[in-house]
Homo-oligomer: A and B are copies of this chain.
Amino acid sequence: MMLVLRCGRAVVRRGSSWCVLTALALLVTLPRPVVAAGDPLPSWKDTAPKKAIAEFVSRVTNRGSSDFVAPEARIAAFDNDGTLWAEQPMYFQMLFAIDRVKELAPQHPEWKSQEPFKNLLAGNTREFLAGGEKSVQAALAVSHAGMTTDEFVDTAKNWLRTAKHPKTGQPYTRMVYQPMLELLAYLRANGFKTYIVSGGGVEFMRAFAEEAYGIPPEQVIGSSGKLKYEVRDGKPVLVKQPAVQMVDDREGKAISIQTIIGRRPIAAFGNSDGDQQMLEWTTAGPGARLAVLIHHDDAAREWAYDRKSPIGSLDKALDEANAKGWTVVSMRGDWKTVFPK
């Protein structure tokens, strides 16, 4: 507004609106300010990570900077589980799968005597999980496949609306991290396109990503199952198959970024070894780069786990972060709040 006020009198004197027009045109075309009114990251303490983020944003958005990046290339990639929302005691999508298996059980009496369903239905979660990848895949297959994509979205949305987290009693979509919501908004206000790049299922994440994070479906990248095109009553449907199309984890994250976005992100945010290659791929490009790991070290407000956790293990990526100077965010030390109030 300063520009307008400064030449306000000239407008009156010369009977011309040219000055105001020019000033306004300038206001409209000038890049939006890096920092909006007030602190755009109020839930972040004034510690090193907040400074690193602000400095990076300033460097890539300042036209005078040698690290300036055109808005269309300002791609930021975010892992979801453990980075944007919580992931304990197990991935929320797995809790959805378990609830779904229970719901479908009356139609499948054979599951009572058939593993991994027997353990799962009996509530022996530890024994179920001891079956590893094979058990998890079996539960995902029966809970996610067989429906059309539209039916699946309805099912997932309904669960997200009604289910409660076993420890906090909160709906899962309230277990998103407030500081990360602010970060997403801050980056978007600075011209960034924010993507989710997660091992979670793409259709599952799209059921809440727009409402929870402001991230539209086309900016959600995840693991995906095979789909089958069928025409039912003259109308095409896509039916979810019990087979994996793409696993968007570890190396798969760099691969799906290349295949789907086709541009290398300039900033990436993760929390586990599953994000290591995404951060490597992001930081290997030229110019200013930002790689951030969220470290779950806050047993009081969230959970504390890292190297030896069966879920969201952060081990090799933490070593690489320390060696390469990636930004490590301590939930305990760097965040004023964790969940939205």
Contacts and interface: CB of A to CB of B under 8 A. Distances in A.
Contacts of A280: 231, 236
A8 B19 CA distance: 12
A263 B11 contact: no
B258 A149 contact: yes
Interface string A204-224: 001000000000111010001
A78 interface: no
A62 interface: no
Contacts of A203: 262
A245 interface: yes
A11 B13 CA distance: 11
A235 interface: yes
A2 interface: no
Given A21-B24, A206-B262, A262-B202, A255 B235 contact: no
Nearest to A11: B17
A263 B229 contact: no
Interface of A: 4, 8-9, 11-12, 15, 17, 20-21, 24, 28, 72, 149, 193, 202-203, 206, 216-218, 220, 224, 227-229, 231, 235-236, 238, 245-246, 251, 254-255, 258-263, 277, 280-281, 284
Contacts of A277: 229, 236
A285 to B, nearest CB: 10
Contact of A260 (B218, B236, B251): B218
B254 A236 contact: yes
B235 A254 contact: no
A106 B227 CA distance: 43
B24 A236 contact: no
Which of A20, A202, A203, A281 has the most chain B CB within a 10 Å cutoff?
Answer: A20
Contact of A220 (B4, B255, B262): B262
Contact of A217 (B229, B251, B262): B262
A289 to B, nearest CB: 13
Contacts of A24: 20-21, 24
Contact of A281 (B236, B246, B262): B236
A11 B254 CA distance: 56
Nearest to A8: B17
Nearest to A230: B251
Given A12-B12, A217-B261, A260-B260, A255 B281 contact: no
Contacts of A224: 259
Contact of A21 (B4, B229, B262): B4
Contacts of A258: 149, 227, 238
A203 B255 CA distance: 12
Interface centre among A254, A258, A277 (most CB of B within 10 A): A258
Nearest to A23: B17
B17 A261 contact: no
A219 to B, nearest CB: 9
Contacts of A21: 4, 20, 24
A277 B238 CA distance: 11
A246 B226 CA distance: 10
Given A236-B277, A259-B245, A17 B20 contact: yes
